[in-house]
Chain A
Amino acid sequence: MEPQNNQAVITSETTAPAIVECRNITKEVQLNREQKLTILHGVNFQVNQGEMVAIVGASGSGKTTMLGLIGGLDTPTSGEVFINGQNISKMKEKELAHVRNRTIGFVFQFFNLVPTLTALENVMLPVQFDKKAQFKPEERARELLDLVGLSHRLTNRPNQLSGGEQQRVAIARALANQPALLLGDEPTGNLDSQRSQEILELLADLRRRLGLTVCLVTHDPKIAALCDRVVTMTDGVLFNGPLK
Chain B
Amino acid sequence: MSNLILYSKYAWRSIQRGGQRSFFAILCIAVGVAAIVALQNTGYAIQDTIAGDARTNAGADVVVSTVQRFFTKDDLAKFDTLKQQGTILDYTTRVSSTGLSVRKPDGTDSNAFGSFYLAFIIDPAKYPYYGNITFATPDNSALKSVLTQPGQIVLNSKMAKGIGAKVGDKIKAASYGGRQGELQVVGILSDKTSSPGTNGQADFTGYGYISPETATPFFTADQSLPDTVLVKTASTQFADNKARDAIRAASPTYEAQTSEERNTQLKQGIDGLRTLLSYVGLISLLIGSVGVVNTMLVVVGRRSTEIATIKALGMEGGQTVRVFVIESAILGVIGSIFGVVLGELLSLLMARVAQGLVNRSLDYQIYGLPIVLGLIVGVVTAIVFGLLPAYSASKIPPAQVLRQKTNSLPRISWWATLLIILVMTVVMGALCGVILDGNYLLGFITAFGTLVSCSLLVLIFSGILWLVGKLPLPFGLNYKMARRNLSRGRGKSATTMLVMAVGIFSVALVLILASSLKATVQSAIEQSFGYNAQITAKDDAQWRQIQATLDSKEVPGYQKNITLAQANVRLISAGGVDTNELRKRETAKKDENTKNGKSNMQSSQAEDALADIVGLPSDAVSRFYRLNSGRINGSDTEAMIDKSVQDFFGLKIGDKMVYRDLAANQEFELTIVGVYESKNAIIGALGSVTTSLPKAQSIPSHITALEVTFDRDKLDQSISYLKAQYPGLDITDLSYITNVVNQLIDNITAFPVLLALLCLIAGAVLIANNVALAVLERRTEMGVMKSIGADSNRVLAIINWETGIVGFLGGLIGFGLASFASSALVQQLGTPDNPAVLAISPFITLGMILLAVGLALAATVSSAWGAVHEKPLVVLRYE
Which residues from chain A sit less than 8 Å from chain B, CB to CB?
64-65, 68-69, 71, 73-75, 93-94, 97-98, 100-102, 105-106, 108, 110, 112-117, 125-126, 128-130, 173-174, 176-177, 185, 190
Contact = CB atoms under 8 A, between A and B. Distances in A.
20 contacts: A68-B873, A74-B873, A94-B793, A97-B789, A98-B789, A100-B787, A101-B790, A105-B788, A106-B784, A108-B784, A110-B404, A112-B783, A112-B876, A113-B784, A114-B784, A116-B484, A117-B481, A125-B785, A129-B789, A174-B788
B877 A64 contact: yes
B874 interface: yes
Nearest to A114: B781
Given A100-B786, A106-B787, A125-B788, A116 B877 contact: no
Nearest to A157: B484
B717 interface: no
B874 to A, nearest CB: 7
Nearest to B484: A116
B871 interface: yes
Contacts of B871: 73-75
Given A65-B877, A73-B873, A128 B477 contact: yes
A116 B481 contact: yes
Nearest to B878: A29
Contacts of B869: 93
Given A65-B877, A97-B790, A129-B794, A114 B872 contact: no
Contacts of A112: 780-781, 783-784, 876
Contacts of A71: 787, 873
A129 B481 CA distance: 12
B790 A114 contact: no
Nearest to B794: A129
Given A116-B481, A130-B789, 17 more contacts: A65-B877, A68-B872, A73-B783, A73-B787, A74-B872, A93-B792, A97-B789, A97-B792, A105-B788, A108-B784, A112-B784, A113-B784, A114-B785, A116-B485, A126-B788, A128-B477, A129-B794
Interface string B473-492: 00001000100110110000
Contact of A108 (B487, B785, B794, B876): B876
A73 B872 contact: yes
Contacts of B790: 97, 101, 129
A177 B873 contact: no
B873 A101 contact: no
A190 B403 CA distance: 11
Contacts of B551: none
A28 to B, nearest CB: 14
A71 B484 CA distance: 28
B487 A94 contact: no
A145 to B, nearest CB: 16
Contacts of B591: none
Contacts of B789: 97-98, 100-102, 126, 129-130, 177
Given A115-B488, A116-B481, A116-B488, A97 B873 contact: no
B8 to A, nearest CB: 23
B791 interface: yes
- Which of A102, A125, A176 has most chain B Cβ within 10 Å? A125
Contacts of A176: 788
A73 B481 contact: no
Contact of A65 (B786, B787, B873): B873
Contacts of B877: 64-65, 68, 74
Interface residues of B, number: 28
Contacts of A73: 783, 786-787, 871-873, 876
A215 to B, nearest CB: 14
Interface residue SS majority, chain B: helix
A172 to B, nearest CB: 12
Q: Which of A102, A117, A128, A176 has the most CB of B within 10 A?
A: A128
Interface of B: 404, 477, 481, 484-485, 487-488, 780-781, 783-794, 869, 871-874, 876-877
Contacts of B780: 112
Nearest to B869: A93
Contacts of A125: 477, 785, 788
A183 B404 CA distance: 22
Nearest to A94: B791
A181 to B, nearest CB: 13
Nearest to A110: B404
B562 to A, nearest CB: 71
Contacts of B484: 116-117
Contacts of B792: 93, 97
A126 to B, nearest CB: 5
B487 A116 contact: yes
A65 B869 CA distance: 18
A101 B872 CA distance: 13
Contacts of B791: 93-94, 97-98
A91 to B, nearest CB: 12
Contacts of B781: 112, 114-115
Contacts of A93: 791-792, 869
Which of B487, B785, B788, B790 has the largest number of chain A CB atoms within 10 A? Answer: B788
A177 B786 CA distance: 15
Contacts of A100: 786-789
Contacts of B481: 114, 116-117
A80 B32 CA distance: 51
A66 to B, nearest CB: 10
A74 B791 CA distance: 13
B233 to A, nearest CB: 76
A69 B699 CA distance: 101
A102 B791 CA distance: 13
A52 B202 CA distance: 90
Contacts of A117: 481, 484
Nearest to A67: B873
Q: Which 8 A-B pairs have the closest CB atoms?
A: A101-B789, A68-B873, A116-B484, A97-B791, A73-B873, A74-B873, A112-B784, A73-B872
A155 to B, nearest CB: 14
Contacts of B785: 114, 125
A110 B485 CA distance: 20
A115 B487 CA distance: 12
With most chain A CB atoms within 10 A of its CB, the pick from B481, B784, B792 is: B784
Contacts of B786: 73, 97, 100
Contacts of A174: 788
Nearest to A74: B873
Contacts of B788: 100-101, 105-106, 125-126, 129, 173-174, 176
A236 to B, nearest CB: 14
B32 to A, nearest CB: 33
A112 B876 CA distance: 10
A105 B789 CA distance: 9
A126 B786 CA distance: 10
A110 B488 CA distance: 20
B798 to A, nearest CB: 10
A174 to B, nearest CB: 8
Nearest to A190: B404
A65 to B, nearest CB: 7
A177 B790 CA distance: 13
A185 B876 CA distance: 10
- Max chain A C-beta neighbours (<10 A), residue from B481, B790, B791: B791
Contacts of A105: 788
Contacts of A101: 788-790
Nearest to B795: A97
A241 B872 CA distance: 29
A97 B783 CA distance: 11
Contacts of A128: 477
Contacts of A177: 789
A77 to B, nearest CB: 13
Nearest to B482: A116
A106 B871 CA distance: 15
A68 B484 CA distance: 29
A62 to B, nearest CB: 10
Contacts of B873: 65, 68-69, 71, 73-74
